[in-house]
Structure 1
Amino acid sequence: MSGASTRRKSPIRWGHYAQNVALWAAVVVIFGPIFWLIVTSFKTDAAAYDLPPKLLFTPTLEQYAGALESFWTPFLNSVIIVGVSTAICLLLGVPAAFALSFYAHKRNEGIVFWFITTKALPQVAVLVPLFVIFRELQLLDTVWVLIIVFVGMNTPIVVWMMYQFMKDLPRGILEAAQVDGVSLSQMLMQIVIPLTRAGIASTAMLCVIFAWNEFLFSVSFTAIEWQPLSVAVAAQQTSRGQFWAQLSAFTTLAIIVPVIVGWLTQKQLVRGLTSGAVK
C-alpha cells in the first residue's frame, strides 16, 4: 500500500471557515457605512441621490469646500473642550486611583465599583437637574459647561482603569522607594506614572472618544458660541432639506481627529487595555 493511500486525510475545518466568514461579515457591517460615507463625500448632491448608487463617478471636492466654511469654529470648540476635560480627568483620576491601590483596604474594590456604576446612570435622568443648575449659574453655552459635564462623566472611567493598572504594580518597588524616603507625590510622579504610561495613554484615548462623540449633553447645554462638532454635524440639516453629500463631507472631517489619535496611540491603547490580562 502506497504512502499516499495510508496517509490520513485531514478533516475539513468547518469551524475555521465559519469563523473567517463571521469576521469578514463583521468587517463589512462595521466599515461598510464608513466606506460609503467617504465615497459619498466626493459626490455631487445630485449624484448622492442616484438609484441605484454608483461606485464609478467623477470625484469632486466641492462638498469639502462648502463643509470647511462652517467646520473650523465647532472643531476648535471640540478640541478645547475635549482637551481640557481630559487633562482634568487625568489630574483627578490618576492620584485617586493611586491612593486606592496604594492603601490596601477591603472596601477599595467596592469604592472603585461604585465609581464605575455611575456610568450606568441614564443621561436623561440628570439632564433636567443639570440644565437648571447651569442656567442658574449662567454657564449655558459657555466653554465650562461641557468641560464640567465631561469631567464628571469620564473621571470614573479614569479611576476604574488606572486602579486596575496600578494595583498590579510590584509592591516591592513601592516599598523600597518608601524605605529610601521618597514621598508619595514623588513616588507617583517618578515611579508610578512612568510604569503605567501605557495605561494612562489608553485611558486618555477613551476619554477623548467619549467626550468627542457626546451628543445629548452637548446639544442640550450649548447653542451657537460653544457648539461642538457632534452638534454641528446634526445642524447640517437645513430647512431646504438634507444634502447627503455635504453632510458626508462634514462628517468625514469630524471623524478624522479620533481616527488619527487612535492610529497614533494604537500600540499604547492595545498594550494598556491588555495589561494585566495574563499573569
Structure 2
Amino acid sequence: MFNILVTGSSGQVGSEIKEISKEYSYNFFFTTKSDIDITCKESLKSFCEKNCINVIINCAAYTAVDKAQTDEINADLVNRKAVKKLALVSKELNIKLIHISTDYVFDGKASTPYIEEYQTNPQGVYGKTKLEGEKELININPINSIIIRTSWVYSCYGNNFVKTMLRLGKEKEVLGVVFDQVGTPTYANDLAKMILYIIPKIENNKVEIYNYSNEGVLSWFDFAKEIMNIANLKCKINPIETYQYPTPAKRPNYSVLNKSKIKKEFNLEIPYWKDSLEDCLKKLGERINV
C-alpha cells in the first residue's frame, strides 16, 4: 500500500491528483502550507512518520514568474529550501520523492526539443530557484526519487492561460498573443495520471530527471486560436512579437521538451495537446465546437 503525501494540493497538479485519486487504491494525504510546513524538516519528518508516508509528490512551488523577480527570498524558500528538506526526510525515511520542475531551467535558445541532459541556463529568478531545488535533490540523492520537468501547465483549476483566454475571449473582440514563443502545453490532468501510473515502477539508485508535456508543438498564438475555436468564441486573435508584450521576467522563446526517455522507461503513450485541450474545455463546459 502506498501512503502518498501530496504537497501543494490546492495547485493545478495537486487538484487534478485529488480529483482522480478515488480511482486508485492508494492512501492519500493532501496538504497545503496551512497543514504542514515543508520548509521545516522536523515538522515534515514528524508528519511522514506519524502517517507512514512512503511516497511524496511535491506539487508545491512558487510559480509567480514575474513576481519572483522582486521576491527572490520567498521563491527560494519554496523552490529550493523546501525541496532540500523534502529530500533529506525522504532519504532518512526511505520515501519515494517525485518533484515537479519546469522548462524555465533552460534559456529557450535551442532549436530542437530539449533532452534531460541539455545544458541548463535559467534566465530569471523563478527558473534559477527551480534549478537550485533540482540540485539540492540531486546532491542529497534519496533513492527512488525523480524530477519531472514540464511546461505550459493548465487545468480546470487555478489560474492559467486557458482560463484567462476564455475570460478575455468573452470580454474582448480582439486580443494580441505572442507567436514567437514556441512550446507544448501540459494538461495537468494528464500529468497527474502519469505520475500515479509510474509510482509503482520507479526504481532508481540516483535521482533521475524526466521531461513531460503533451505531444505536439505550437505557439501561444496557436494555442489561443484553438481555445477560441473549440469554445466557439468570436474574439479575433492577432499575432504579436514578444517585445510588444513586455514582462518583468524573460520567457523562453523555445520550450519544446523531448519526452523519449519517460515514454521508453515507463511505456507511456502521451496525449496530443489538442485532444487534451478539448477534454479540459469539455469539463469546464466550454467545448462547443465539436
Q: How does the TM-score come out when normalised to structure 1?
A: 0.23
Q: Which has the higher Rg, Structure 1 or Structure 2?
A: 1
Q: How does the TM-score come out when normalised to structure 2?
A: 0.22
Identify the structure with the greater helix proportion.
1
